[in-house]
Amino acid sequence: MERIAVFCAASEDIAPVYAEKAAELGTWMGRHGKVLVYGGSVSGLMGQVARAAKAAGALLMGVVPTRLEERGKVSDLLDVTFRTDNLSDRKDVMLRESDVCVALPGGVGTLDEVFTVMASAAIGYHDKKVIFYNINGFWDGLLRVLRELEAQGFVHRPLADCTAVAHTFEELTEMLN
């Protein structure tokens, strides 16, 4: 798994621990020759993971929707830039260019990305996983909902086929190796 898509918050107004963990992941990626595939933003956790990855030697692939460019929020660290018209195109490119997806804490956009990957895996478009990096139990509520969907028969394939959960950084890096 060389190309890792990272889905995460663009928000700056979040607890510092999430930025620290994003930077830790970015540094690990650079030190281990991984390629970061992400939303191309300079803001929030996206910016944190990208700056750390670049500083540690990673190649950065940014998938940039038009609105992000219009708002001047595109990172100037990108080695490869994919320009997209909208968020749907962005998700398609990120999925195409990655081997695995990691979900750091994030908001509605992160949920949209995660669910797109899971839904497309469920109907057989790919066999890539989303690894939920469950920093401080951030994903616990969502994971309960997903287990309930599975328990009640609303999930067509076992969620383990398209998801994994890492509770620690060590678990995450083991899954990515």
The domain that contains 120 carries what CATH number?
A: 3.40.50.450
**Token pair listed for 175:** 């899954």
Collapsed DSSP state (helix, strand, coil) of residue 68: helix
Beta strands per DSSP E along 32-171: 35-38, 59-65, 80-84, 100-103, 130-133, 163-166
Query: Distance (Å, rounded) from C-alpha 48 to C-alpha 97?
Result: 21
Q: What is the pLDDT of residue 3?
A: 97
Collapsed DSSP state (helix, strand, coil) of residue 146: helix
Q: What range defines the domain where residue 122 resides?
A: 3-176
Cβ distance 15 to 48 under 8 Å? no
Could you give the angle at which helices 169-176 and 16-31 cross, rounded to 10 degrees?
30
The H or E element that residue 17 is part of is: helix 16-31
Q: What is the pLDDT of residue 17?
A: 97
At 76, is the pLDDT very low, low, confident or very high (cuts 50, 70, 90)? very high
Query: Distance (Å, rounded) from C-alpha 94 to C-alpha 79?
Result: 15
Q: What is the pLDDT of residue 57?
A: 97
Query: For residue 3, which phi and psi values (nearest 5 degrees)?
Result: -100, 115
Q: What is the pLDDT of residue 68?
A: 84
Collapsed DSSP state (helix, strand, coil) of residue 157: coil
Q: How many domains does the chain have?
A: 1
Q: What is the pLDDT of residue 72?
A: 85
Residue whose entry in the numeric block shows the structure tokens 């890096």: 173
pLDDT tens sequence across 23-74: 999 999 999 999 999 999 999 999 999 999 999 999 999 999 999 888 888 9
